[in-house]
Amino acid sequence: MIYLVPESEVKKTYEIFYEKNALADYRTEKYLYRIVTSANQLVEKIQIFDAGKDDRIIELVKLLAADSILKNNPDKEFDELRFAVDDGTNILIIINKGEITGAVDIDNMYEFASSHCNDFKDLRNDDEIVINREWILNKLAEAENE
């Protein structure tokens, strides 16, 4: 279940599922919950899950891809990377100022990242429901401080 809410409602929406009066119960245990704050994020989450991928790993792949793009092409400007599938190939679309300026095949990068994320809980047992760039940066900072 993916919920599209304004940024100001993220905390309240999270509480609906995980506080003492939570709506989630045994009838909805099989669902994976995510909160997003834009229509683009909503579409991306749907595409990630339709492709059978873990959105937590995709956020790590986005960081790896951004680093690679900037290392190999320091003049390349982009505002975001967004997951998509093109003819069965998993890609990140490179977006600058609202325009698509390129794409990167991420299948190998995904497999690499996935094989190095042993500390991620099972996807459906993880209480984290806001998975984005900020989440992965915090997760990496936590791992570094351990």
CA 134 to chain centre: 10
Q: What is the pLDDT of residue 75?
A: 92
pLDDT digits (tens, 9 = 90+) for 73-114: 999 999 999 999 999 999 999 999 999 999 999 999 999 988
Q: Are 103 and 91 in contact (CB under 8 A)?
A: yes
Q: What is the pLDDT of residues 41-67, one digit of tens each?
A: 999 999 999 999 999 999 999 999 999
Q: Where are the domains of the chain?
A: 2-130
Cβ atoms of 110 and 53 closer than 8 Å: yes
Q: Using alpha carbons only, what angle is made at residue 74 by residues 68 and 79, rounded to the nearest 5 degrees? A: 75
Residue 128 pLDDT grade (very low, low, confident, very high; cuts 50, 70, 90): confident
Tokens in use for 52? 């059978």
- The phi and psi torsions of 117 (rounded to 5 degrees) equal -115, 55
Sign of CA dihedral 112, 115, 121, 123: positive
Helical H segments across the chain, by residue range: 10-18, 39-50, 55-72, 107-115, 133-145
pLDDT reading at 16 higher than 90:
no
Pairing of strands 34-36, 89-96: unpaired
